[in-house]
Amino acid sequence: MSSITIQEHVILHLSKYSNRIPNMYDMPYSTTQDGIAAALGISRAHVSLELKKLKGKGRVGSIIAHTPRSSRKRRTYFLEPCGRSAVPEINERIMQE
Protein backbone atom coordinates (compact mmCIF):
# COMPACT_ATOMS: atom_id res chain seq x y z
CA MET A 1 0.00 0.00 0.00
CA SER A 2 1.31 3.42 -0.96
CA SER A 3 2.03 6.01 1.70
CA ILE A 4 1.53 8.79 -0.84
CA THR A 5 -1.52 10.91 -0.05
CA ILE A 6 -4.02 12.25 -2.58
CA GLN A 7 -2.58 15.74 -2.01
CA GLU A 8 0.85 14.43 -2.92
CA HIS A 9 -0.57 12.74 -6.02
CA VAL A 10 -2.08 16.10 -7.03
CA ILE A 11 1.27 17.83 -6.47
CA LEU A 12 3.07 15.22 -8.60
CA HIS A 13 0.45 15.56 -11.34
CA LEU A 14 0.73 19.35 -11.41
CA SER A 15 4.53 19.11 -11.34
CA LYS A 16 4.35 17.79 -14.92
CA TYR A 17 3.24 21.29 -15.90
CA SER A 18 5.52 23.29 -13.60
CA ASN A 19 7.74 24.38 -16.49
CA ARG A 20 4.79 26.35 -17.92
CA ILE A 21 4.18 29.90 -16.85
CA PRO A 22 0.53 30.16 -15.78
CA ASN A 23 -1.33 32.45 -18.17
CA MET A 24 -4.96 33.17 -18.89
CA TYR A 25 -4.68 32.42 -22.60
CA ASP A 26 -3.60 28.82 -22.71
CA MET A 27 -3.45 26.21 -19.97
CA PRO A 28 -3.67 22.42 -20.41
CA TYR A 29 -6.99 20.69 -19.71
CA SER A 30 -5.10 18.42 -17.30
CA THR A 31 -4.68 21.36 -14.92
CA THR A 32 -8.44 21.74 -14.38
CA GLN A 33 -10.34 19.91 -11.64
CA ASP A 34 -11.86 17.58 -14.24
CA GLY A 35 -8.46 16.92 -15.80
CA ILE A 36 -6.82 16.20 -12.45
CA ALA A 37 -9.69 13.90 -11.45
CA ALA A 38 -9.43 11.96 -14.72
CA ALA A 39 -5.65 11.62 -14.44
CA LEU A 40 -5.77 10.40 -10.84
CA GLY A 41 -8.92 8.28 -11.17
CA ILE A 42 -10.78 10.03 -8.36
CA SER A 43 -13.95 12.12 -8.21
CA ARG A 44 -14.00 15.79 -9.10
CA ALA A 45 -15.45 16.54 -5.65
CA HIS A 46 -12.47 14.85 -3.98
CA VAL A 47 -10.07 16.83 -6.15
CA SER A 48 -11.89 20.02 -5.17
CA LEU A 49 -11.45 19.29 -1.46
CA GLU A 50 -7.77 18.44 -1.82
CA LEU A 51 -7.04 21.51 -3.95
CA LYS A 52 -8.70 23.71 -1.34
CA LYS A 53 -6.41 22.24 1.34
CA LEU A 54 -3.34 22.67 -0.87
CA LYS A 55 -4.28 26.29 -1.63
CA GLY A 56 -4.62 26.91 2.11
CA LYS A 57 -1.08 25.58 2.61
CA GLY A 58 0.24 27.82 -0.17
CA ARG A 59 1.31 24.88 -2.34
CA VAL A 60 -1.13 25.42 -5.20
CA GLY A 61 -2.40 28.53 -6.97
CA SER A 62 -5.15 29.00 -9.53
CA ILE A 63 -6.10 31.22 -12.42
CA ILE A 64 -9.02 31.41 -14.86
CA ALA A 65 -7.76 30.42 -18.32
CA HIS A 66 -8.74 29.04 -21.71
CA THR A 67 -8.30 25.29 -22.08
CA PRO A 68 -8.30 23.28 -25.32
CA ARG A 69 -11.37 21.17 -24.45
CA SER A 70 -13.64 24.02 -23.44
CA SER A 71 -15.35 26.90 -25.19
CA ARG A 72 -15.25 28.97 -22.00
CA LYS A 73 -12.57 29.86 -19.50
CA ARG A 74 -12.06 27.47 -16.61
CA ARG A 75 -10.20 27.55 -13.31
CA THR A 76 -6.81 25.93 -13.75
CA TYR A 77 -4.24 25.06 -11.09
CA PHE A 78 -0.48 25.30 -10.87
CA LEU A 79 2.22 24.67 -8.27
CA GLU A 80 3.44 27.56 -6.18
CA PRO A 81 7.15 27.53 -5.20
CA CYS A 82 6.27 25.79 -1.92
CA GLY A 83 4.55 23.00 -3.87
CA ARG A 84 7.42 22.63 -6.34
CA SER A 85 9.87 22.27 -3.46
CA ALA A 86 7.88 19.28 -2.14
CA VAL A 87 8.23 17.28 -5.37
CA PRO A 88 11.79 15.91 -4.81
CA GLU A 89 10.91 14.70 -1.30
CA ILE A 90 7.76 12.95 -2.55
CA ASN A 91 9.69 11.31 -5.40
CA GLU A 92 12.36 10.15 -2.94
CA ARG A 93 9.71 8.46 -0.76
CA ILE A 94 8.25 6.74 -3.81
CA MET A 95 11.67 5.42 -4.80
CA GLN A 96 12.25 4.04 -1.29
CA GLU A 97 9.02 2.03 -1.33
Task: State the Cα–Cα distance between residues 75 and 77, nearest whole angstrom.
Answer: 7
Task: State the Cα–Cα distance between residues 22 and 62, nearest whole angstrom.
Answer: 9
pTM over 0.85, yes/no: yes
Report which DSSP code applies to 26: -
The helix (run of H) or strand (run of E) holding residue 86 is helix 81-96
Q: Could you report the per-residue pLDDT of 31-79, keeping only the tens digit for each?
A: 999 999 999 999 999 999 999 999 999 999 999 999 987 889 999 999 9
Q: Which of 19, 18, 33, 96 is nearest to 64 (CA)?
A: 33
CATH of 6-96, one of 1.10.260.30, 3.40.190.10, 3.40.50.970, 1.10.10.10: 1.10.10.10
**DSSP 3-state assignment of 61?**
strand
Mean local confidence (pLDDT), 2-22? 89
- For residue 61, list its beta bridge partners: 78
pLDDT of residue 23: 75
